[in-house]
Structure 1
Amino acid sequence: MAVHEVDVVIVGAGLAGLSAGLSFHRAGISCVVLEAGDEVGGRVRTDVVDGFRLDRGFQILNPAYPAIRRLVDVDALRLGKFWRAVRVADGDRLSLLGNPLDTPKAFRDVAARRHLSVKDLAALGALTVRAAAGPAQAIVRGEDRATLDELRRTGLSDRAIESVFRPFLSGVFLEDGLSTSSRFFRLVWRSFLSSAPSLPALGMGELPRQLARSIPSDGVRTGTPVEAIGNGRVRTAGGDVWNARAVVVATDGTTAAKLVEGVPEPSWNSVTTWYFAPPRSPLSEPVLLVDGQGGSILNTAVLTEVCPTYAPEGASLVSASTLGQLAEPEMRRTLTRLYRTDASSWPLVGRYEIPHALPAMPSPHDFRRSIRFGDTTYVCGDHRDSSSLQGALASGARTARAVARSLTGDRGEERP
């Protein structure tokens, strides 16, 4: 057993823990990040299987997120971008819906008004103006309701909601009732207006790896599970003890609830993501494809149209995500219908069941939940903010600021 002394111990090297660690490092506060897994990233990980890059669950990065702009060298990620549009499969049609000024190819299908009427387009325009206008804090502090109620209040028709918005947003929220906070929906919509959803060339796991590289090499220790914390003291499964002036628990919400008394365990939204390697790309566009008929697949995309580096040279990679369990034959039949090509023999590269994918955010949702639990213990993560990359990164930075104030004797508000 070894005993260590440090200013701050961070438990968990997901995005929140790495954000906090980077903030401490920049402030000159000594810290160590202890991670139970064999690599940093938490739920944001990428596996390489036979040359294919498989993110653990369908994930995308929006470079417009404020925390991404503050903490990440976006250019170094070599992002591939999705179109800011969506393909809607409905019967014998694959309609492309998006802003024609951004995606000119969408003009024909938008003008055809198969899914969005003139009234829908006007309601969507008004929603877009409201989301883009003013500071983001105005949205966070505004009235909250379920996203479904918000969409109806904007004047969108049932047809538009059921064939476009429900299938698209179900893939964002990982729940198909659209009970998620309308505040969060407006923030997501605002981010889509600012920048295209993207993928790093080396997979989503490159995001936490970049953050970890910005922290001194001895500041992040993987393969180090923590058994107990309390009173500025952390004990690892290996028997080592870390004494610190503050402890930051940056694990997922379920683990945090076990380690820290008083932390509520969140409800979770789950997802299962499949990866296939068809012999050729079934859709030569970097776009999300959703089922306008409300089928079992949340969304699917040819990831190699976004980032060719997700597969060996000349190969294609298709992702498809579902909320519940889906037998492989049904998955293949649905992909065949959506892509209008035979998917029955596509090689299956990987399949990930993620029961704890995103903390649920039913309305009303508080974006600034308490982070202090005792004199020396703090908790951060997307379950204390919003269920997003932005929420995890922002929560880690917010907690680091609160700890720094405490260490210097400033007991002010723990607000940005």
Structure 2
Amino acid sequence: MIQPKSTMLKNNALYIIGAGVSGLIAATILERNGFAPTILEASDRVGGRLKTDILEGYQLDRGFQVMLDAYPKSKEYLDYEKLQLQKLLPGAVIFENGNSQTLGDPLRALSLAIPTVLAASGSIRDKIKVMRLNSDLASKDIETIFDTEERTTCQYLREYGFSNRFIEDFFKPFFTGIFLEKDLQTSSRMFEFVYKMFGEGLAVIPKGGIEAIPKQLKANLKKTTFKFNTTVEEVKDGVITLSDGTHLESLGTIIATEASLLVANLKNQQTIWKAVDCLYFEVENTVLDKPIIGLFSEDGLINNIFYPSSIETEIKGANQLLSVSVVKKHELSEAELITQVKKELEEQAKIKVIRFLKRYNIPKALPKLENLKYSIDPGETRLTTSIFLAGDQLLNGSLNAAMMTGERAALGLIQVLGNN
């Protein structure tokens, strides 16, 4: 039973489950409205899917991840200057059989102009259509994008008139790394949104790694209590049960993680997730002398490569650091996977590996969703009398959606508390 408002702050019984970005934003909104919530987190620190590890002097993100600095919510909640964002060039280098070609946006990076014009992938017609697509999406607002009829990204690109070769050589490998599926079956709404964000800004990585984002959000919280290494077993109206049997009385709970495992009536509504493998290597040579993504053809295992050592990081290892992302499904052992990846690196891009550092197998990298939305009303996040949901799986798989849902869930809870 929800207690009178006069005792709510005194009892301090508002809980957020999950210290990822959604949970941290929810706590931010609650604090701004005078509340002091408690965050229950199963792991040892904040971040959720945004984590960075230090290994032998190297700064390793758990999976190659970038932030798009044009995201409206990240601009609202993050201090970009303090994050010391490192910019990636707006383009990609495509590797095949030991050769490479560069495609990019010459209007934002002049150094990419001549390589893009000379690139064999994409006819002049394709490159003109890229400019037209940039213009079309620049004038299309985000809400309109998410109101547009959905089709697959692949169908969208074909209907727009891009050649099959350009789709296969550029769009498929590039957006496979973003959508984590190789057939571009992801909603055209997501394609237009992400493409628009690329057009309005840049892909960036904080100097301290991707975990610098949740660390900054945590540092801004002054009234929130964190309980790490605390696993929640079940959530009901008014009570949270921990894995050790402890019961916590709750005036309101925001579940900013997979809710189907915690709430009885959601047991059959689990989110379907996309997976990715990320492998880190020390390498002898850099075949990319600037901060740009390298793409491989879909014939092999590797989808993309990036040199984290090509940007400023807080910690630098002794040699060049290479991240390799594998999206394609496989049944290889870790040893077999490493062997195959090393072989592809040498054959396709002439990259010689010194040694393997670490593999991150990430089974829950992105939610697989349909009927994508951009925003959600606070009331729509309400599951029961006092339980609210947050997380990008409610809208679309993006940092922007994670922030949006955390914000709206907190506003929904505040509204209910005020009414009571």
Same-fold status (TM-score > 0.5):
yes
CA distance in 1: counterparts of 2:265 and 2:186, whole angstroms: 24
Contact 1:54–1:310 under 8 Å retained in 2: no
Match of 2:123 among 117, 139, 146: 117
Shift of 1:280: 4.2
Opposite residue 122 of structure 1, the aligned amino acid is I
Q: For residue 57 of structure 1, what is the aligned residue in structure 2?
A: 63
- 1:302 paired to 2:310: no
Q: Alpha-carbon deviations, 1:191-227, whole Å to 9, x = none?
A: 1112211111111111111111111265222111112
CA distance in 2: counterparts of 1:328 and 1:261, whole angstroms: 41
After superposition, where does 1:301-340 map in structure 2 within 5 Å?
301-309=306-314, 311-312=316-317, 314-323=318-327, 324-325=329-330, 327-340=337-350
Shift of 1:30: 2.5
Match of 2:362 among 342, 354, 357: 354
Opposite residue 365 of structure 1, the aligned amino acid is L
Shift of 1:293: 5.7
Match of 1:380 among 351, 372, 390: 390
Query: Structure 1, unaligned stretches of length 5 or more?
Result: 411-416
- 1:71 paired to 2:80: no
Q: For residue 6 of structure 2, what is the aligned residue in structure 1?
A: none
Alignment partner of 1:309: what SS? coil
Give % identity: 28
CA distance in 2: counterparts of 1:236 and 1:278, whole angstroms: 45
CA distance in 2: counterparts of 1:371 and 1:295, whole angstroms: 41
- 1:179 paired to 2:185: yes
Contact 2:99–2:348 under 8 Å retained in 1: no
Shift of 1:409: 2.2
CA distance in 2: counterparts of 1:393 and 1:340, whole angstroms: 40
CA distance in 2: counterparts of 1:198 and 1:304, whole angstroms: 14
After superposition, where does 1:208-287 map in structure 2 within 5 Å?
208-216=214-222, 219-251=225-257, 253=258, 256-263=259-266, 264-287=269-292
Shift of 1:177: 1.2
Q: For residue 19 of structure 1, what is the aligned residue in structure 2?
A: 25
Opposite residue 261 of structure 2, the aligned amino acid is K
Contact 2:20–2:46 under 8 Å retained in 1: yes
CA distance in 1: counterparts of 2:313 and 2:143, whole angstroms: 37
Q: Alpha-carbon deviations, 1:109-166, whole Å to 9, x = none?
A: 3222511212112222222122111321111111211111111111100000000000
Contact 1:83–1:287 under 8 Å retained in 2: yes
Q: For residue 413 of structure 1, what is the aligned residue in structure 2?
A: none
Contact 2:68–2:198 under 8 Å retained in 1: yes
Query: Would the alpha carbon gap of residues 90 and 270 (structure 1) be closer, same or farther in structure 2, given more than 3 Å must change?
Result: same
CA distance in 2: counterparts of 1:250 and 1:81, whole angstroms: 29
Shift of 1:382: 1.1
CA distance in 2: counterparts of 1:384 and 1:48, whole angstroms: 32
Opposite residue 325 of structure 2, the aligned amino acid is S
Contact 1:299–1:322 under 8 Å retained in 2: yes
Alignment partner of 2:401: what SS? helix
Alignment partner of 1:400: what SS? helix
CA distance in 2: counterparts of 1:186 and 1:368, whole angstroms: 15
Shift of 1:315: 2.8
CA distance in 2: counterparts of 1:280 and 1:311, whole angstroms: 16
CA distance in 1: counterparts of 2:290 and 2:296, whole angstroms: 16
Q: For residue 83 of structure 1, what is the aligned residue in structure 2?
A: 89
Q: For residue 42 of structure 1, what is the aligned residue in structure 2?
A: 48
Match of 1:9 among 11, 15, 25: 15
CA distance in 2: counterparts of 1:115 and 1:274, whole angstroms: 28
Opposite residue 40 of structure 1, the aligned amino acid is V
Match of 1:342 among 334, 352, 367: 352
Q: For residue 414 of structure 1, what is the aligned residue in structure 2?
A: none
Match of 1:365 among 372, 385, 394: 372
CA distance in 1: counterparts of 2:236 and 2:375, whole angstroms: 24
Q: Alpha-carbon deviations, 1:353-404, whole Å to 9, x = none?
A: 0111111134x33445742211111111011111111111111011111112
Shift of 1:76: 0.9
Query: Structure 2, unaligned stretches of length 5 or more?
Result: 1-9
Q: Alpha-carbon deviations, 1:282-303, whole Å to 9, x = none?
A: 4211000001464321110111
Alignment partner of 2:314: what SS? helix
- When the two structures are aligned, how many residues end up with a matched partner? 400
CA distance in 1: counterparts of 2:264 and 2:316, whole angstroms: 44
CA distance in 1: counterparts of 2:351 and 2:242, whole angstroms: 52
CA distance in 1: counterparts of 2:224 and 2:201, whole angstroms: 35
Q: TM-score normalized by structure 2?
A: 0.90
Query: Would the alpha carbon gap of residues 44 and 8 (structure 1) be closer, same or farther in structure 2, given more than 3 Å must change?
Result: same
Opposite residue 397 of structure 1, the aligned amino acid is E
CA distance in 2: counterparts of 1:99 and 1:177, whole angstroms: 24
Query: Would the alpha carbon gap of residues 56 and 92 (structure 1) be closer, same or farther in structure 2, given more than 3 Å must change?
Result: closer
Q: Alpha-carbon deviations, 1:45-73, whole Å to 9, x = none?
A: 11111111111111111121111111111
CA distance in 1: counterparts of 2:252 and 2:135, whole angstroms: 43
